[in-house]
Amino acid sequence: MKVKFIISALFLWAVVLMSQAATQHHLVLSTENTSIGITANEGGRSYIQYYGAKIDQGDIRKIFALGSNFTSLSYPTFGIHLGGGAVEALSLQMPDGNMSTDLFLQSVEKKNDAGGECLVLTMIDSVYPVTVKQYFKAYNSSDVISTWTEISNKGKKSILMNKFASAAIPLQRGDNYVCHYHGKWASENYMFETPMPNGQLVLDEKEGLRTAWYNNPSFMITADGKPQEECGEVFGATLLWGGNYKIQMVAENNKFTVVAGINNDNSAYTLEAGETFTTPEFAMTYSTQGKGGVSRAFHRWGRKYALQHGGQVRDILLNSWEGVYFQVNQEKMDQMMQSIASLGGELFVMDDGWFGEKYPRNDGTSSLGDWGVNKGKLPLGVKGLTDAAKKHGIKFGIWIEPEMANTKSELYEKHPDWILQCKNRELTKGRGRTQVVLDLCNPKVQDFVFSITDNLLTENPEIAYIKWDCNAAMMDYGSTYLSADRQSEVDIRYHMGLRNVLKRIREKYPDVVIQCCSSGGGRISYGFLPWFDEFWTSDNTDAYQRLYMQWSASQFYPAIAMASHVSASPNHQTSRVTPIKFRFDVAMTGRLGMEMQPKDMTTEEIEFSKRAIASYKSIREVVQLGDLYRLVSPYDHKSISALMYANDDKSHLAVFAYSLEYTHNQQVPYVRLTGVDENKNYRIKDLTPWNVQKPCFLDNKVVSGRALKYAGLKLKDILNRPFSSVALELVAE
Ligand code: GLA
């Protein structure tokens, strides 16, 4: 014991000596338009000094000269050094009970990893065998820098991690506003903008599984003043973690820090001797062009790095859910496939209700876990459906909810121990009063969940699309697989298990399109998207409410990933009656689909839908791969809403505008097209006229970019009734 103490003391002394002779690096890591400045004192501490618009190496010293540097520890630890009010990113309890961690910088390395340039700070505790590697990665051709850490136990005894955040980023304290997205089922992601108070503002999730439901893990903070679309400085960030998370914004004494990571509440994690824990990436950007700049940076980065097939346009689909709900059978599926094919669609997705032999899935009370086709409903099996799709010249997709079981299922009868459960307590049951959650901490359960997708895809290689659903919370926080002293790790290990399954699926099936659905938009998060192509935005398909939800989802998530379906009127969730043109014009701003029984449409609606689908195809690339400019926000209550997309060289644009109410005798704003090229002339086309003989007055006009940007469009006469709308295509001449 004594010898150990002497060695430790000697080490500390060496560290102190080293710090006196320290090499001080002032490092600047940049993207095209942003930079982070870090001081790394070898043998000393590392500090974040700057994060914002792009600077160069010389500027960092000038920032010091101005005294405007942050000097904020790059990875603050608990126990010593932190002044009152400061918040730690790392809190460890050493094997001897010591609650403090004290990190000194050992080395700095710059390296290139897949997709970007990385700065790696290696830090060691002055006394205990703990190493932390902190990464800052500047993604190529994007304005996103991400950061995360690797925490290693180099000793012989386990260490308890009480907090292990991914990042602690300082920002300038000013008249900061926080923009965040909050909701629940059928009202996902409503946008809120609020002044940052002194003290703390926390965004977190404890739901366990649908971890973007209440609070989305993406948020923005303005540098000074109310958020604007195309001006002002704005910090935007998101955490790439599907489990519970915690984002603390701490503003005290003129200091402002964002600490973000896995939610450590009730989630202490034991780091075994020799183990390394990697915290999830925290991705961020900084824009001098308002919120629009943040969104475009995240959309570009998302398409390139953080979702599947981000460069490939998506098929136009019909999903069976709102058309037939659980009443799936061969005949109806065949008819729906025929319908969507004749409308010009390219894919049909059979939703819930197709499986369960012993217990047929006729409602939400049974069968999850029993992924065999119900032969009563589908005598020809999945093959019968993929054959029918082929006959109609479209692709076929299928719904699964693989992380779940019902207590009324063969799976539950066979493996009750595979369910998440709290010792000595009755199971909590969700949907249908029978739904329970599989224990993905258990590798055997991971294999089972993998096999659901694997079997479907090996037996039916024609399946082109999977809708992966998750309709429960982590209702019972307990695992029969984990030992008693590891129960606090359930949510973390569940999500590690889920990642493992998704990784295996992606390795074996790189081409299949997979939708991330979770009771609607419960998983709209970059914590899941890296394995998915898109998300289901909400079970609320009312086009009017979708204007609000899609507006806020678009703050971070690109249109290509935003599933947006035309559904029946009156709407099944809200009973609102809206014209089919309005419903199409809204759905066309995302990944267009339909979710209704097409055979219930009138002849006029069918003809309109055919034309709208054909028109969407002409702007699909612009919407799905282009840059978004939000023009008039529905949240501003100006009676209308408008947005536009532009391709890279702004030669091809798509513009959408909607009335939200009866605008007669109201002031309707001019819609200035901020995303045009001023020096181009554009020919305008009305994309979705209800009557092809009577397109809107703008149709076929050729106008200059300057006129569109500075004078704008006067849409009062077009947007004159509630739910009137216009969709325009602009092509440079
Ligand atoms: C969830 C999804 C819906 C649908 C149903 C099926 O609610 O969000 O889109 O798939 O499950 O049960």
Taking CA atoms, 8 is separated from 4, 5, 127, in Å, by: 6, 5, 5
pLDDT value of position 56: 94
Cα 270 to middle of ligand 1, angstroms: 36
Q: Specify the pairing of strand 269-271 against strand 255-262.
A: unpaired
User: Which residues, at least 6 apart from 160, have a Cβ–Cβ distance to it below 8 Å?
Assistant: 92, 93, 268, 269, 270, 271
CA nearest ligand 1 atom 12, residue: 352
CB atoms within 10 A of CB 126: 18
Q: Find out whether the beta carbon of 213 lies less than 6 Å from any atom of ligand 1.
A: no
DSSP 441-453: TSHHHHHHHHHHH
Residue 260: in which H helix or E strand, if any?
Answer: strand 255-262
Q: Determine the atom of ligand 1 nearest the C-alpha atom of 517.
A: 8
pLDDT digits (tens, 9 = 90+) for 502-552: 999 999 999 999 999 999 999 999 999 999 999 999 999 999 999 999 999
615 in ligand 1 pocket by Cβ < 6 Å? no
Secondary structure of residue 694 in the 3-state scheme: coil
**Domains, the chain, with CATH or none:** 2-306 (2.70.98.60), 317-404+445-472+513-624 (3.20.20.70), 630-732 (2.60.40.1180)
Which residues 6+ apart lie within 8 Å of 114 measured at CB? none
Instruction: Tell whether the model's pLDDT for residue 16 goes beyond 90.
Output: no
Tell me which of 642 and 1 has the higher pLDDT.
642
DSSP collapsed to 3 states, 562-620: EEEEEECCCCCCCCCCCCHHHHHHHHCCCEEEEECCHHHCCHHHHHHHHHHHHHHHHHH
Q: Is 243 in the pocket of ligand 1 (CB under 6 A)?
A: no
Q: Are 90 and 99 in contact (CB under 8 A)?
A: no
CA of 481 to the centre of ligand 1 (A): 29
Which of 471, 565, 595 is the best mutation target for the ligand 1 pocket, counting ligand atoms within 8 Å of the beta carbon and taking the most? 471
SS3 10: helix
Query: Rounded CA gap, 510 and 677, in Å?
Result: 37
Alpha carbon distance 178, 180 (integer Å): 6
Q: Spell 469-484 as b/e; 16+ CB within 10 A means b.
A: bbbbbbbbbbbebbee
> Ligand 1 test: best mutation among 209, 318, 328, 352, most atoms within 8 Å of CB?
352
| 645 strand-pairing partners | 628, 654
Q: How far is ligand 1, taken at its centre, from the CA of residue 367, in Å?
A: 15
Which tens digits make up the pLDDT trace of 320-331?
999 999 999 999
Q: What is the pLDDT of residue 18?
A: 44
pLDDT (tens digit per residue) in 98-150: 999 999 999 999 999 889 999 999 999 999 999 999 999 999 999 999 999 99
Active-site option among 315, 334, 469, 491: 469
Query: Considering only CA atoms, which residue is closest to atom 6 of ligand 1?
Result: 352
The model's pLDDT over 414-465, given as tens digits with 9 standing for 90+, comes to 999 999 999 999 999 999 999 999 999 999 999 999 999 999 999 999 999 9
Ligand 1 within 6 A of 399 CB? yes
The pairing of strands 317-319 and 347-350 is parallel
321 in ligand 1 pocket by Cβ < 6 Å?
A: yes
520 CA → ligand 1 middle, Å: 7
471 Cβ below 6 A of ligand 1: yes
Q: How far is CA 120 from CA 46, 93, 732, in A?
A: 11, 25, 46
CA of 535 to the centre of ligand 1 (A): 12
- Residue 469 is a catalytic residue: yes
Task: Supply the residue whose CA is at minimum distance from atom 11 of ligand 1.
Answer: 519
pLDDT in tens, 190-220: 999 999 999 999 999 999 999 999 999 999 9
Q: Percentage of the chain surpassing pLDDT 70?
A: 96
What DSSP string runs through 473-504? Answer: ---S---SSS-GGGGGGHHHHHHHHHHHHHHH
**Mean pLDDT value across the chain:** 95
Over residues 651-661, the pLDDT tens digits come to 999 999 999 99
Token reading at 135 = 């990464």
As given in the structure block, the two tokens for residue 562 are 């935003």
Query: Is the separation of the CB atoms in 114 and 138 below 8 Å?
Result: no
